[in-house]
């Protein structure tokens, strides 16, 4: 490993090779150090910028986070006070349902593409799924609207969840396929040599070995759909009233934020930032939860 | 069989089947075909969903496709009053903003990913990864708000005049600075795709087996040489996959780009200061007010074209990856 | 290594994962099963506790206030109104996914013909005015730049490009107009605000009517497009020399500079509730179906860039209970609901229009009788 901790020992081991041609070696080492510095500068400056963005949202939104904000339904535009409890519950339900539908579907499709992915059917699926990733999500909203909302004559949280699930599919499929393909072939050979069936190899060797990458993919997918506004506008549509019935119109945080930003009143604009802060907090919470599960199940890997 | 597709050649398969016969291992259990059936079913379900989506999209945009044909691609105006629709500026804007955003974000994202995966102390890595993931979680409407309330005015008053002063001889930095325009959209898109590149890039780099690095280190290679010759080639296809996901995001990003791009077709020029249009911003701008009929159908055809562009870039990228990775064994 | 991971995972922590999955599942199942938080209806109330509407973003602040109040009184009917845009509101209304639509422009004959549920009633619910906002440091806040309709059309056509253009100077001899380029800002998204503004320009300028026309989306000859009212407002606020058009509430609440516009009688008026109401009250030739524009009406107090906003309902209600609840709601909106308008910079309906609205609401049929029993 070329991580910091291993440097002292590996340096002394390398020295014999370097002494032969020390001038060239100096240039090589200098270039290498320069490269390391560049990588570090890039990483640090990106992080500083991210910190700035997060602090910007915090600065605009934090003064408007109070108990009411978490426990009250929204007030009318222009009136101070009120909160986003309806939207938080709606987001949890919609994104949760979407994950239950979309993540397994994307995962299994990714496995299919990685393991049986050389036929023409798989090629077709791969190209279609890839192009789905670049489609504006409002089109997915339209699709679900045509198939679910119009026949039912009603908007519903479930329709929103279906739209988000479809958006999750390409994200999950793509990462699953990539990550599974990166699992060393030796592991498969070893597993097969031990007499494991292909299914056993997949479930007990390959997926656990790829779990880190799969969870990163899952997290990115959840974070992405949790912030989606456009597809929900055509499916869950939003509601200022508390509702936990997935068959009825349902609020969600991005919808609520979008609604707040339409307001001419400064109070609601700030509430939009506060709402983003809540959304950010929820997604970070989900990320920590995933990491916690990961740490408990994969000691020494994180 | 699962292992048939692992790319190790037919020799391995022969050996495998002989071993299986000899030791009666890995027989076909009913569980295997069941599992295979399930993943196949999932694949087919996804095929049906995506196929249905494309069908709905194409059938709804058929009125404009049949009315305008190729003229839709070259017409400039999007004018419901005179029933004339075209997306030439939007195609230009989409391609320019997405590719430039990816071109700028790629070195930054991969550099940061290399730092996180290879050089970074562990504690710092946890913190940095966490921050990058948080960026992915900021909803795009908020990035858009920041973009047009804070970033675009800064660009107009400081950023663009500076560029004009120092790099004004380039054709990209000419014209009057509006703030809102292609440059602002490129920067916002760059910010949005960075977390995808960094998170997935780090993940891909970390899966490169340790032995490959150690072998080169033992030969006296420097850190840069290890990464150049051992890590990057092995991770190339995975990194390209991350880049494709990022490009997909950039192509399809709707609300944040719409807020900062200026939404007005400017006379054709190379300047990045000009205002522009993208295919998704047509959808974002017009979908809410599009009345049923030719207008709505024109908006949806913009979606069709976007799908087509994404499909084409994917095919190109796959050809490129096959070229790049020819002769390099997959890890 | 992986084997041990797998084993550790199986033996130690599978339980945790299962518990987590079960928890999530139960949450969702419970959510599916539990009834909505509806209100019990008393004897005289229709058995409907929730109505859905969608459409105009212009109406949204007012509707948001009205419906919050409406849920507190009478039958406690919850009205869920979402501002998806007038066009999308019409689409949803025609597809019958909502109980009522809301639009800043009346439906065209072509759109009305798409109805699969019989005749459509237009019910004016409020009036809005639009201000011409600008960003000129050299003009004090107490003073307002004067514009005429043809001049505005020339600016938006790109014929007048500097603030010290002779035409502008002639109208504003007291103001020191700088030699600064005019940055024209318009809405990039389709909107009723644009529809009213372009309708006005097309009414007062033949060149505009011929070259561009009027509608919620037009092919702008020049300018920068901002998304939504907030997009236009932000672009105007941050760009020196910019000019834009905004709903009155936006300009007032955000302390923006705004101009006077010359009305049909030749008087320069500022946008306000009074001048907009004067324009609406002086409207002539109101058609029976209430589909009409009121830009540039006569009267010396009238502010010319003014327009109605409509609720859209079907004359024949399929569900009698919903129809009754809807009729009660509309009746309340055009009467008691109007008192919330002035605080939010919306213009209350003139009495003549309220009477017309009453007749429209009484036309709504629930089965073989009228929906409204008042």
| Terminal-residue alpha carbon distance, chain A | 15
pLDDT digit string (tens) for C315-325?
999 899 999 99
User: B207 and A182 in contact by Cβ < 8 A?
Assistant: yes
Q: Is C189 on the interface with A (CB under 8 A)?
A: no
> Which chain C residues are closer than 8 Å to A107 by Cβ?
none
**More confident: B312 or A96:** A96
**More confident: C24 or C311:** C311
Q: For residue B151, give both structure tokens.
A: 């970033």
Q: Among B52-66, B243-257, B283-297, where is mean pLDDT lowest?
A: B283-297
Which range of A220-229, B113-122, C144-153, C190-199 scores highest in mean pLDDT? It is: C144-153
> Which chain B residues are closer than 8 Å to A263 by Cβ?
none
C162's CB contacts (< 8 A; 6+ apart) are: C179, C180, C181, C182
Q: For residue A93, give both structure tokens.
A: 């339900």
Q: Among A120-124, B205-209, C1-5, C61-65, where is mean pLDDT lowest?
A: C1-5
| pLDDT above 90: percentage of residues in chain A | 23
User: C217 and B263 in contact by Cβ < 8 A?
Assistant: no
| Terminal-residue alpha carbon distance, chain C | 78
User: B213 and A2 in contact by Cβ < 8 A?
Assistant: yes
Mean pLDDT on B263-267: 78
| Terminal-residue alpha carbon distance, chain B | 20
Residues 207 to 246 of C: which have CB under 8 A from any A CB? 228-230
Mutation target vs C (from A94, A102, A154, A240; most C CBs, 10 A cutoff): A240
Q: Please check the confidence at residue B10 and state whether its pLDDT lies above 90.
A: no
Tell me what pLDDT residue C122 has: 95
Which range of A110-114, A229-233, B64-68, C36-40 scores highest in mean pLDDT? It is: A110-114
Mutation target vs C (from B150, B160, B288, B295; most C CBs, 10 A cutoff): B288
> Which chain C residues are closer than 8 Å to A244 by Cβ?
30-31, 34, 36-37
CA C182 to chain centre: 27
Mean pLDDT on B108-118: 91
Which range of A195-199, B21-25, C35-39 scores highest in mean pLDDT? It is: A195-199
To the nearest whole Å, the CA of A293 is away from the closest chain C CA by 8
Residues 101 to 120 of B: which have CB under 8 A from any A CB? 107-108, 111-112, 114-116, 118-120
> DSSP per residue over A28-72, as a string?
HHHHHHHHHHHHHHHHHHHHHHHHHHHHHHHHHHGGG--HHHHHS
Residue given tokens 């593409």 in the structure block: A113
Tell me what pLDDT residue B248 has: 83
To the nearest whole Å, the CA of B246 is away from the closest chain C CA by 25
Residues 142 to 201 of C: which have CB under 8 A from any B CB? 181, 183, 186, 188-191
> Which chain B residues are closer than 8 Å to C219 by Cβ?
77-79, 81-82, 84
Residue of C nearest to B284 (CA): C189
Tell me what pLDDT residue C349 has: 93
User: C110 and B179 in contact by Cβ < 8 A?
Assistant: no
To the nearest whole Å, the CA of C97 is away from the closest chain A CA by 4
Tell me what pLDDT residue C75 has: 87
Residue of C nearest to A157 (CA): C32
Asked whether C284 and C296 are in contact (CB, 8 A), the reply is: no
Mean pLDDT on B121-136: 84
Asked whether B173 and C233 are in contact (CB, 8 A), the reply is: no
Q: Is B153 on the interface with A (CB under 8 A)?
A: no
Mean pLDDT on A186-197: 86
Tell me what pLDDT residue A77 has: 78
Q: Among B165-174, C24-33, C255-264, where is mean pLDDT lowest?
A: C24-33
Q: Is B274 on the interface with C (CB under 8 A)?
A: no
Tell me what pLDDT residue A110 has: 93
**More confident: C33 or B173:** B173
Tell me what pLDDT residue C40 has: 39
Q: Please check the confidence at residue A300 and state whether its pLDDT lies above 70.
A: no
Q: Please check the confidence at residue C7 and state whether its pLDDT lies above 50.
A: no
Mean pLDDT on B50-66: 88
Asked whether C59 and C86 are in contact (CB, 8 A), the reply is: no
Mean pLDDT on A244-251: 90
With cut-offs at 50, 70 and 90, classify the pLDDT of residue A1: very low
Report d(CA C57, CA A6) in Å as an integer. 61
Mean pLDDT on B172-196: 86
Mutation target vs C (from A297, A298, A301; most C CBs, 10 A cutoff): A297
Q: Please check the confidence at residue C148 and state whether its pLDDT lies above 70.
A: yes
With cut-offs at 50, 70 and 90, classify the pLDDT of residue B277: confident
Q: Among B70-79, B259-268, C33-42, where is mean pLDDT lowest?
A: C33-42
Residue of A nearest to B257 (CA): A136
Q: Is C289 exposed, middle or buried (0-12, 13-18, 19+ CB in 10 A)?
A: middle
| Burial letters B201-219, b for 16+ CB under 10 A, else e | bbbbbbbbeeebbbebbee
Q: Please check the confidence at residue A245 and state whether its pLDDT lies above 80.
A: yes
With cut-offs at 50, 70 and 90, classify the pLDDT of residue C211: very high
Pairing between β-strand C183-187 and β-strand C224-226 as defined by DSSP bridges:
parallel
Tell me what pLDDT residue A129 has: 85
Mutation target vs C (from B155, B289, B293; most C CBs, 10 A cutoff): B289
Q: Is B264 on the interface with C (CB under 8 A)?
A: yes
Q: Is C275 on the interface with A (CB under 8 A)?
A: no
Asked whether A214 and A267 are in contact (CB, 8 A), the reply is: no
Mutation target vs B (from C58, C95, C135, C189; most B CBs, 10 A cutoff): C189
pLDDT digit string (tens) for A96-147?
999 999 999 999 999 999 888 778 888 888 888 877 876 778 889 888 988 8
Q: Which chains touch C (3 or more CB pairs under 8 A)?
A: A, B
Q: Please check the confidence at residue B28 and state whether its pLDDT lies above 70.
A: no
Mean pLDDT on C324-330: 94
Domain boundaries, chain B: 16-66, 69-324
To the nearest whole Å, the CA of C224 is away from the closest chain A CA by 20
Mean pLDDT on A171-188: 87
User: B214 and A1 in contact by Cβ < 8 A?
Assistant: yes
CATH number (3.40.50.300, 2.170.8.10, 1.20.1250.20, 1.10.3720.10) of B69-324 reads: 1.10.3720.10
Mean pLDDT on C226-252: 86
> Which chain B residues are closer than 8 Å to C114 by Cβ?
292
Q: Please check the confidence at residue A5 and state whether its pLDDT lies above 50.
A: no
Mean pLDDT in chain A? Answer: 83
Mean pLDDT on C362-367: 91
Mean pLDDT on B42-57: 90
What's the angle, vertex CA B225, arms to CA B221 and CA B227, rounded to 5?
Answer: 120
Task: Give the DSSP H or E segment for C324.
Answer: helix C320-334
Q: Please check the confidence at residue C35 and state whether its pLDDT lies above 50.
A: no
User: B289 and C88 in contact by Cβ < 8 A?
Assistant: yes
Q: For residue C95, give both structure tokens.
A: 């597809």
A133's CB contacts (< 8 A; 6+ apart) are: A170, A171, A174, B244, B245, B248, B249, B252, B310
Residues 144 to 173 of B: which have CB under 8 A from any C CB? 148-149, 152-153, 156
Q: For residue A37, give both structure tokens.
A: 């510095």
Q: Is C243 on the interface with B (CB under 8 A)?
A: no
A37's CB contacts (< 8 A; 6+ apart) are: none
Mean pLDDT on B125-144: 82
Mean pLDDT in chain C? Answer: 85
> Which chain C residues are closer than 8 Å to B210 by Cβ?
none
Mean pLDDT on A173-195: 86
To the nearest whole Å, the CA of B108 is away from the closest chain C CA by 30
Tell me what pLDDT residue A285 has: 84
ipTM: 0.77
Tell me what pLDDT residue C339 has: 94
| Burial letters C199-217, b for 16+ CB under 10 A, else e | bbbbbbbeebbeebbbbbb
Residue ranges of domains in chain C, CATH in brackets: 53-127+311-370 (3.40.190.10), 129-306 (3.40.190.10)
**Is the alpha carbon torsion for B61, B67, B68, B70 positive or negative?**
positive
């Amino acid at each position: 490993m070329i991580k910091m901790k291993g440097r002292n020992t590996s340096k002394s081991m390398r020295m014999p090779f370097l002494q032969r041609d020390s001038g060239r070696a100096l240039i090589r080492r200098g270039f290498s150090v320069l490269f390391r510095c560049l990588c570090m500068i890039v990483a640090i400056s990106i992080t500083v910028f991210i910190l700035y963005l997060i602090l910007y949202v915090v600065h605009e939104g934090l003064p408007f986070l109070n108990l009411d904000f978490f426990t009250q339904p929204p007030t009318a535009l222009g009136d101070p006070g009120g909160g986003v409890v309806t939207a938080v519950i709606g987001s949890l339900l919609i994104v949760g349902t979407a994950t239950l539908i979309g993540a397994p579907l994307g995962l299994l499709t990714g496995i299919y593409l990685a393991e049986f992915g050389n036929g023409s059917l798989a090629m077709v699926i791969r190209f279609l799924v890839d192009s789905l990733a670049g489609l504006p999500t409002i089109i997915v909203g339209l699709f679900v609207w045509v198939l679910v909302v119009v026949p039912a004559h009603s908007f519903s949280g479930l329709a929103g969840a279906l739209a988000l699930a479809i958006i999750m599919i390409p994200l999950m499929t793509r990462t699953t396929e990539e990550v599974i393909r990166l699992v060393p072939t030796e592991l498969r050979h070893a597993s097969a040599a031990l007499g494991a069936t292909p299914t056993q190899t997949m479930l007990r060797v390959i997926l656990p070995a790829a779990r880190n990458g799969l969870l990163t993919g899952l997290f990115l997918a959840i974070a992405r759909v949790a912030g989606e506004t456009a597809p929900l506008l055509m499916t869950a549509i939003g509601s200022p009233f508390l509702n936990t019935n997935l068959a009825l119109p349902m609020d969600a945080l991005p919808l609520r934020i979008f609604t707040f930003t339409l307001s001419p009143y400064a109070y609601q604009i700030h509430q939009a930032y506060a709402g983003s802060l809540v959304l950010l907090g929820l997604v970070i919470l989900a990320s920590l939860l995933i990491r916690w599960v990961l740490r408990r199940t994969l000691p020494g890997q994180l | 069989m699962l292992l048939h597709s692992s790319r190790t050649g037919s020799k391995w398969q022969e050996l495998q089947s002989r071993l299986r016969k000899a030791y009666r291992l890995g027989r076909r259990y009913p569980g295997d075909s069941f599992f295979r059936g399930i993943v196949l079913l999932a694949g087919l379900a996804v095929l049906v969903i995506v196929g249905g989506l494309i069908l709905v999209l194409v059938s709804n945009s058929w009125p404009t496709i049949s009315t305008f044909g190729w003229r839709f691609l070259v017409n400039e105006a999007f004018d419901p009053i005179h029933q004339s629709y075209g997306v030439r500026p939007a195609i230009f804007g989409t391609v320019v903003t997405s590719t430039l955003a990816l071109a700028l974000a790629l070195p930054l994202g991969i550099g940061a990913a290399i730092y996180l995966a290879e050089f970074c102390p562990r504690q710092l890595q946890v913190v940095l990864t966490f921050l990058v993931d948080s960026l992915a979680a900021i909803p795009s409407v908020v990035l858009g708000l920041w973009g047009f309330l804070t970033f675009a005015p800064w660009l107009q008053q400081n950023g663009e005049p500076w560029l004009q002063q120092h790099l004004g001889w380039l054709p990209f930095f000419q014209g009057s600075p509006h703030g809102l325009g292609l440059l602002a959209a490129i920067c916002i898109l760059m910010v949005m795709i960075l977390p995808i590149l960094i998170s997935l890039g780090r993940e891909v780099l970390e899966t490169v087996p340790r032995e490959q690095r150690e072998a080169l280190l033992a030969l006296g290679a420097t850190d840069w040489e290890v990464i150049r010759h051992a890590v990057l080639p092995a991770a190339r296809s995975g990194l390209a996959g991350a880049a494709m996901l990022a490009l997909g995001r950039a192509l399809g990003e709707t609300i944040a780009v719409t807020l900062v791009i200026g939404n007005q077709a400017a006379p054709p020029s190379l300047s990045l200061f000009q205002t522009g249009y993208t295919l998704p911003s047509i959808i974002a701008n017009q979908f809410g007010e599009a009345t049923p009929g030719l207008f709505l159908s024109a908006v949806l055809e913009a979606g069709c074209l976007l799908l087509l562009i994404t499909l084409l870039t994917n095919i190109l990228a796959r050809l490129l990856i096959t070229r790049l990775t020819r002769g390099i064994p997959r890890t | 290594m992986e084997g041990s991971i797998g084993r550790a995972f199986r033996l130690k922590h599978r339980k945790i994962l299962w518990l987590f999955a079960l928890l999530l599942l139960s949450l969702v199942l419970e959510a599916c099963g539990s009834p909505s938080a509806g209100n019990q209806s008393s004897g005289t109330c229709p058995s409907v506790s929730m109505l859905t509407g969608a459409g105009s973003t212009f109406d949204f602040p007012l509707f948001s206030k009205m419906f919050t109040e409406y849920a507190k009184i009478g039958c406690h009917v919850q009205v869920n109104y979402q501002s998806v845009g007038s066009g999308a509101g019409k689409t949803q209304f025609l597809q019958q996914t909502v109980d009522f639509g809301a639009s800043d422009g009346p439906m065209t004959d072509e759109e009305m013909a798409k109805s699969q549920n019989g005749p459509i009633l237009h019910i004016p619910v409020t009036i809005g005015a639009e201000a011409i906002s600008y960003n000129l440091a050299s003009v004090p806040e107490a003073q307002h730049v004067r514009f005429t309709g043809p001049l505005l059309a020339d600016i938006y056509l790109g014929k007048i490009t500097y603030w010290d253009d002779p035409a502008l100077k002639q109208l504003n001899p007291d103001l020191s107009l700088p030699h600064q380029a005019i940055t024209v800002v318009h809405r990039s998204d389709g909107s009723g605000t644009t529809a009213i503004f372009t309708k006005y320009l097309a009414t007062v300028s033949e060149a505009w009517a011929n070259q561009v026309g009027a509608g919620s989306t037009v092919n702008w000859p020049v300018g920068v497009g901002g998304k939504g009212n907030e997009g236009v407002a932000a672009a105007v606020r941050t760009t020196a020399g910019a000019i834009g058009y905004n709903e009155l509430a936006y300009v007032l609440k955000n302390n923006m500079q705004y101009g006077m516009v010359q009305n049909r009688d030749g008087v320069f008026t500022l946008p306000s509730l009074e001048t907009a109401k004067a324009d609406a009250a002086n409207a002539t030739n109101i058609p029976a179906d209430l589909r009409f524009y009121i830009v540039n009406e006569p009267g010396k107090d009238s502010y010319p860039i003014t327009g109605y906003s409509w609720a859209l309902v079907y004359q024949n209600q399929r569900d009698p209970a919903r129809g009754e609840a809807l009729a009660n709601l509309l009746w309340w909106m055009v009467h008691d609901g109007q008192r919330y308008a002035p605080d939010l910079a919306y213009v209350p309906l003139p009495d003549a229009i309220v009477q017309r609205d009453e007749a429209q609401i009484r036309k709504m049929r629930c089965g073989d009788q009228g929906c409204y029993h008042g």
